[in-house]
């Protein structure tokens, strides 16, 4: 009897059509998400910047952005939404839209408080996000909010330190959370390395994590290393460490260097004076002169 075979074939054809439709929609979502990331970083008078994003699935929950504000400052941020896939990607797009509205002069703390209350009021969304957001002016005044994100690494005179541990809860997690900005002064040449946990929690085949200590050791001594080379160094180190092991997290980097020509002023961060030693300078010169190829696994950058 042929009827069962005909019905089975019809079901298979319908499933394949549905699979193709979903794949097409995911590809569209991926293209939209990638298009929202900055690609050609414009020149700013007071900072240099580069960034990279690699989702572990077709779409991801990480993103970064850099944009000028109306008062001459430049804003930069990195975010990591809980979970993966389409749900996380949708929330990253919503957060990006909310924060881009700051170009109109909205106070960062007010935006964070509003987004947090909105997500908590709509708890059925079931998502939260860690974020680090900063604004930098031409004199090196940095104002930042850390919403539960790993502290960026500050490279100053060759020493790499976690200098931004002050912060609050991720947005969308605690309804009563209140966000306030913290201010500090950067010196010319200071470099901030912002990253998602896809960097420090990258695992090798033995399920050992790359870790923050290894990242700081890698960045120590990078005094005048060009940002693109510095980014390649980090990506290559993570790829070599992982040795082909499957990674479960999106990987995102954003590197910002304050490049004002004015004399360095006093700073609010206590950094060891040993950072200016000749050994650090020579290590940086060696790293800057060493050619580094783009890791094959990380060939597509944001």
Residue 232 per-residue DSSP state: H
Is it the case that residue 206 has pLDDT exceeding 70? yes
Residue 119 contacts residue 61 (beta carbons within 8 Å): no
Nearest to 83 by CA among 51, 114, 59: 59
Cα(82)–Cα(89) distance, integer angstroms: 10
CA 302 to chain centre: 11
pLDDT digits 0-9 by tens, 244-290: 888 778 889 999 999 864 444 444 444 444 333 333 334 343 433 34
CA atoms within 13 A on the CB side of 248: 8
Residue 150: pLDDT band by 50, 70, 90 thresholds?
A: very high
Q: Which pLDDT value is given to residue 155?
A: 96
pLDDT digits 0-9 by tens, 18-62: 877 777 766 766 676 666 777 777 778 899 999 998 887 666 778
Residue of higher predicted confidence among 26 and 9: 9
pLDDT digits 0-9 by tens, 154-201: 999 999 999 888 889 999 999 999 999 999 999 999 999 999 998 999
Contacts 24+ apart (CB under 8 A), 109-113: 109/145, 109/179, 109/180, 109/181, 112/145, 112/147, 112/171, 112/179, 113/177, 113/178, 113/179
pLDDT digits 0-9 by tens, 89-147: 777 777 877 777 666 667 888 888 988 988 888 766 678 899 999 999 999 999 999 99
Residue of higher predicted confidence among 156 and 63: 156
Q: Which pLDDT value is given to residue 294?
A: 40
Q: Which pLDDT value is given to residue 127?
A: 82
Measured from the Cβ of residue 86, the count of other Cβ atoms closer than 10 Å reads: 18
Mean pLDDT confidence for 80-97: 78
Which token pair is 209?
């994590």
Residue 179 per-residue DSSP state: -
Phi then psi for residue 135, to 5 deg, are -125, 140
Q: Which pLDDT value is given to residue 104?
A: 60
């Amino acid at each position: 009897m042929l009827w069962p075979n005909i019905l089975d074939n019809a079901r298979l054809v319908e499933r394949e059509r549905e699979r193709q439709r979903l794949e097409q929609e995911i590809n569209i979502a991926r293209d939209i998400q990638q298009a929202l990331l900055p690609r050609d970083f414009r020149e700013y008078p007071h900072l240099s910047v580069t960034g990279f994003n690699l989702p572990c699935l077709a779409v991801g929950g990480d993103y970064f952005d850099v944009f000028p504000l109306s008062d001459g400052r430049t804003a930069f941020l990195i975010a990591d939404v809980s979970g993966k896939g389409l749900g996380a990607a949708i929330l990253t797009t919503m957060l990006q839209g909310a924060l881009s509205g700051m170009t109109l002069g909205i106070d960062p703390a007010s935006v964070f408080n509003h987004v947090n209350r909105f997500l908590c009021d709509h708890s059925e969304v079931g998502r939260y996000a860690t974020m680090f957001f900063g604004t930098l002016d031409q004199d090196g005044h940095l104002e930042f909010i850390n919403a539960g994100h790993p502290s960026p690494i500050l490279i100053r005179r060759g020493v790499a330190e976690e200098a931004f541990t002050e912060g609050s809860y991720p947005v969308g997690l605690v309804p009563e959370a209140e966000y306030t900005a913290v201010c500090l002064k950067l010196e010319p040449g200071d470099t901030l390395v912002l990253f998602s946990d896809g960097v420090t929690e990258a695992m090798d085949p033995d399920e050992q994590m790359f870790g923050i200590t290894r990242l700081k050791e890698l960045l120590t001594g990078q005094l005048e290393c060009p940002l693109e080379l510095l980014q390649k160094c980090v990506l290559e180190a993570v790829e070599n460490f992982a040795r082909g092991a499957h990674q479960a997290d999106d990987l995102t980097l954003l590197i910002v260097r304050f490049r004002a020509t004015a004399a360095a002023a006093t700073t609010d961060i206590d950094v060891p004076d040993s950072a200016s030693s000749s050994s650090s300078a020579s290590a940086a010169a060696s790293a800057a002169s060493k050619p580094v190829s783009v890791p094959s696994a990380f060939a597509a950058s944001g």
